[in-house]
């Protein structure tokens, strides 16, 4: 490899250290080994950026590669001296460290979401780039988002989740004085995609209920379509939440699952997603009768199978014949199979919740009442999702205007 070629391959940047600018040149030696050379400029950081950039250009232009063993040792000694108190942590490694620091401050299901984004996407991308925490610039992050959108084909909302992780991690680095500013603050995030859920009409819901009657998925469909329960609330439902005397059902338990490091983890909570999700709903006669049948069947199964019957999930309503609790993923996967097998229009299981809201609104139930039925944390959440469906209020407004203004 010629000296001219090596010169053209020299990259460099400015590094701030103790209030002064340093020039850092990066190059590869004859064996392809990555090297760096630090050059002190003696220039204070404040007010000298342009001058330092000019010195950087000159240093790159005039760089001479000298494969002399003594010279190389001297240069390595000098570099080690300059590098001794400079943070050389790769950004990829810093993200993993940050992930560990937040692990005990957030919900496990939230940590799983963070870990999948950080370990699955963010770290592999930036490790390949070999960018240190101190070298990270806004354009590096912006390039990552473009790559995710264009090469991986992820949604804008997914990129926004990546951004939340990256910005939070860098904010911690900024607060702890590891970096002088948060480069993620200068990022242009992709526009959030508006969510429009699919839903079934009343006739489609009734058709579906007829199809699943007597099957393992019947309970999930009823709770999703009639009560608008989330999947976690369906699986987490316990007998202790049912008041057969007053005919009420209280939503207070949840079961969620997620994949962490290739292992499926199930998370049980004796509380709901948020305070508003803790709600008590009336038991209609048809569902009341179904629950009585299910309780009788569970008692029978436990008597018949004796020691073979699983006791781990005693107290849960949604269990199979052997007492094993129905898994959250089973509902999602089996629901799709049922629709396909019966040539019904494809929707997600969660869309039964949207179907419930749509049917309530279209039949004159107020937005506030729908919020309370679904257990949304605040009114704006319900309004943002379903305002385009609140046709009854528009009819009322039209009738009022028709009385006031004569056309």
Residue-by-residue pLDDT tens, the chain, 407 positions: 444 444 455 788 888 876 778 888 887 777 777 777 888 887 888 888 888 888 888 888 887 665 554 455 555 555 555 555 567 889 999 999 999 999 989 988 899 999 999 999 999 999 999 999 999 999 999 999 999 999 999 999 999 999 999 999 999 999 998 998 999 999 988 888 776 668 899 999 999 999 999 999 999 999 999 999 999 999 999 999 999 889 999 998 999 988 888 888 888 888 766 666 788 999 988 889 999 999 999 999 999 999 999 999 999 999 999 999 999 999 999 999 999 999 999 999 999 988 888 888 878 788 788 888 888 777 566 666 665 554 555 555 556 555 655 55
182 phi-psi bin (left φ>0, alpha ψ -120 to 50, beta other): beta
Are 236 and 255 in contact, with CB atoms under 8 Å apart?
Answer: yes
**pLDDT value, residue 307:** 92
In the block, residue with structure tokens 């480069």: 183
Rounded-to-integer distance, Cα 270 and Cα 265, Å: 17
What local confidence, expressed as pLDDT, does residue 46 receive? 81
What phi and psi values does residue 323 have, to the nearest 5 degrees?
90, 0
Map tokens 């963010």 to a residue: 122
Which of 195, 149, 144 minimizes the C-alpha distance to 166?
Answer: 144
- For residue 360, the model assigns a pLDDT of 84
Instruction: Compute how many other C-beta atoms are within 10 angstroms of the C-beta atom of residue 351.
Output: 18
Closest-CA residue to 62 (of 28, 39, 35) = 39
CB 231 within 8 A of CB 277: no
């Amino acid at each position: 490899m010629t000296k001219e070629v090596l010169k053209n391959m020299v990259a460099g940047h400015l590094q701030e250290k103790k209030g002064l600018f340093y020039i850092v040149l990066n190059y590869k030696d004859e064996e392809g080994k990555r090297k760096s050379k630090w050059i002190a400029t003696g220039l204070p950081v404040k007010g000298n950026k342009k001058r330092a950039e000019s010195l950087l250009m000159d240093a790159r232009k005039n760089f001479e590669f000298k494969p002399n063993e003594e010279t190389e040792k001297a240069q390595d000694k000098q570099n080690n001296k300059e590098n001794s108190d400079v943070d050389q942590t790769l950004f990829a490694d810093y993200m993993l460290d940050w992930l560990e620091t937040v692990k005990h401050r957030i919900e496990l299901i939230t940590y799983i979401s963070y870990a999948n984004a950080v370990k699955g996407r963010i770290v592999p991308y930036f490790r390949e780039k070999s960018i240190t925490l101190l070298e990270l610039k806004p354009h590096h992050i912006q390039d990552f988002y473009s790559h995710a959108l264009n090469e991986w084909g992820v949604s804008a909302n997914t990129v926004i989740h990546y951004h939340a992780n990256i910005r939070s991690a860098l904010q911690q680095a900024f607060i702890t004085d590891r970096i002088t500013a948060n480069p993620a603050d200068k990022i242009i995030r992709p526009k959030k995609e508006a969510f429009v859920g699919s839903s079934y009409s009343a006739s489609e819901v009734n058709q579906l209920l007829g199809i699943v009657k007597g099957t393992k998925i019947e309970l999930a469909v009823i709770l999703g379509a009639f009560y608008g329960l989330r999947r976690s609330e369906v699986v987490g439902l316990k007998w202790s939440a049912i008041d057969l005397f007053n005919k009420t059902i209280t939503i207070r338990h949840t079961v969620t699952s997620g994949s962490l490091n290739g292992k499926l983890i199930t998370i049980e909570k004796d509380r709901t997603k948020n305070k508003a999700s803790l709600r008590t709903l009336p038991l209609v006669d048809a569902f009341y009768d179904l629950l009585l049948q299910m309780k009788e069947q569970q008692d029978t199964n436990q008597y018949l199978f004796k020691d073979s019957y699983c006791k781990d999930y005693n107290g849960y309503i949604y269990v199979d014949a052997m007492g094993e609790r129905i898994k959250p993923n089973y509902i999602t996967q089996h629901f799709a199979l049922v629709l396909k097998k019966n040539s019904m229009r494809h929707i997600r299981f969660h869309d039964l919740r949207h179907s419930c809201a749509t049917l309530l609104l279209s039949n004159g139930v107020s937005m506030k009442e729908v919020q309370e039925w679904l257990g949304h944390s605040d009114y704006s959440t319900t309004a943002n999702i379903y305002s385009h469906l609140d046709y009854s209020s528009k009819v009322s407004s039209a009738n009022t205007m028709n009385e006031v203004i004569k056309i």
